[in-house]
A = this chain, B = another copy of it.
Amino acid sequence: MDVLFQNATVLTLCDDRPVLKGGYVGIAGGKIAFVGIAAPQEPAARTIDCRGKFLLPGLVNAHAHTAMCLMRGYADDYTLQDWLYQKIFPVEARLDERAILAGARLGFAEMLRTGTTSASDMYFREPAVAALALECGMRVSLSNAVLAFNEAAYDPETDRAIQETRALIRDFHGAGNGRIRADAAIHAEYTSYPAVWRYVTELALTHGLCLQVHVSETRKEHETCIARRGVTPTRALYDAGVFQAKVLAAHGVWLTDEDMDIFAETGASVAHCPVSNLKLGSGIARTAEMKRRGVNVALGTDGCCSNNTHDLFEEVKLAALLQKGVSGDPTSVNAYEALKMATVGGAKAQGRENEIGRVAEGFDADLILIDADSPLLRPVYDPVSTAVYSATGRDVCLTMVQGRILYENGQFTTIDVEQAMHEVEAYAVPIVLGAQS
């Protein structure tokens, strides 16, 4: 065995035994080889004593624009329209591959530091980001979302997105023992048209990819679609056949009950992004109703420019709090259900439900340790409650992907974090500020 975690409080996320106290978890060949409450017979190359620590599956960020952390705090407190058209789009038009890689590297460092081991990403220059993720050890599902505003004219940007997606599939899909996945992606209903949707869906079906898409993030988007097409964005995409692919839809704030039923019937997932939805004034997704209707709900941070952090623990806590606060029912989404969104739910949304999201034998060893030996977390009555309501990503002291330790006690093993911060500030920030009107 390569690594043995011993004396851990294990949050397995397996419903039949969600918490193991004094647990042993052994890792071999990048996989979880042993889970139990007695020491395994086989010796381990390294033993990690976990007294006072919680071992749990790495969190899954099901909707991120990772590289945008180079714009963290650049555009707060604007209306969505001003935010996008005055601040974000002008900057993005100037970002080159080096700037995007700088942002992605810092974003991956932040995710690993705060316990996220797998991210569904939607941005540009994804083949380069795939190579970076391979090198950093991060698990990613990457997509380059097709934007196509004008059905009548050839758009070189649309073409470039498709070419990049094809390169991503060819060169990286399945790389790193399945750690890197290419996803197909439609940016959104309002930024493209049915011929594009069908093209992207075909790509997903041909290569067995998940399909990322923004759906009903804002009331305006949702209602404009109804006015234009006579149906909701979900229904419009469904009618074009998009839900034949495995859909991972970000936001879903304004989904109708009928929309939710389409998600449930087709096995599609919603990436709930509570912080971003609040910060941009989009609203609060009805995730309790989604769960009642059988929709798989995952959690995402969205871009760091509308959050402004990749710490998914914030989303977990807020996913529970918001449903309680809005419904008036404190039992609405409990701590364990919220934590499942960020683990089991996220894994399912990524098409990785047999690969990650649980501490179970045979699963990939994507694991994190929370140091609960802290005046901010003690006493511990219920470790799930502590992890959800009291812990933050700052309490993570070890992050492992496929059995490889990528972060431990302040040290990153695959990322030069000082260099990553310097590259963002010395190279990318001037580009951002240069684009300022």
Q: Give the interface centre of A277, A307, A381, A393 by most chain B CB atoms within 10 Å.
A: A381
How many residues of A are in contact with the other chain, CB < 8 A? 70
Q: A79-B329, A385-B76 are in contact. Are A109 and B334 (CB under 8 A)?
A: no
B332 touches A281 (CB 8 A): yes
Contact with B along A70-113 (1 / 0, CB 8 A): 11111011111001000000000000000000000010011001
In this complex, what residue of B is CB-closest to A412? B375
Segment of A131-139, A262-270, A354-362, A417-425 engaged in the interface with chain B: A417-425
Asked whether any CB of chain B lies closer than 8 Å to the CB of A16, the reply is: no
Asked whether any CB of chain B lies closer than 8 Å to the CB of A394, the reply is: yes
Q: Which residues of B contact A381 (CB under 8 A)?
A: 71-74, 429, 432
A330 touches B77 (CB 8 A): yes
Residues of A116-139 contacting chain B, CB below 8 A: none
C-alpha gap A389/B109 in the complex (Å): 18
A325 touches B277 (CB 8 A): yes
Q: A73-B385, A381-B73, A389-B73 are in contact. Are A421 and B281 (CB under 8 A)?
A: no
A425 touches B282 (CB 8 A): no
C-alpha gap A378/B71 in the complex (Å): 9
Asked whether any CB of chain B lies closer than 8 Å to the CB of A328, the reply is: yes
Asked whether any CB of chain B lies closer than 8 Å to the CB of A280, the reply is: yes
Asked whether any CB of chain B lies closer than 8 Å to the CB of A392, the reply is: yes
Closest 7 CB pairs of A and B: A278-B325, A394-B394, A278-B321, A73-B385, A281-B330, A308-B389, A77-B334
Known contacts A281-B332, A282-B325, A379-B424; can you find 15 more A-B pairs with CB under 8 A?
A73-B380, A76-B335, A76-B385, A76-B389, A78-B331, A79-B330, A278-B321, A279-B320, A279-B325, A280-B324, A281-B327, A308-B386, A310-B376, A375-B421, A379-B428
Which residues of A are interface residues toward B (Cβ below 8 A)? 70-74, 76-80, 83, 106, 109-110, 113-114, 219, 275, 277-284, 307-311, 318, 320-322, 324-332, 334-335, 375-382, 385-386, 389-390, 392-395, 417, 420-421, 424-425, 428-429, 432
9 A-B contact pairs sorted by A residue (CB < 8 Å): A72-B381, A72-B386, A76-B389, A77-B335, A78-B331, A110-B375, A279-B324, A280-B330, A308-B390
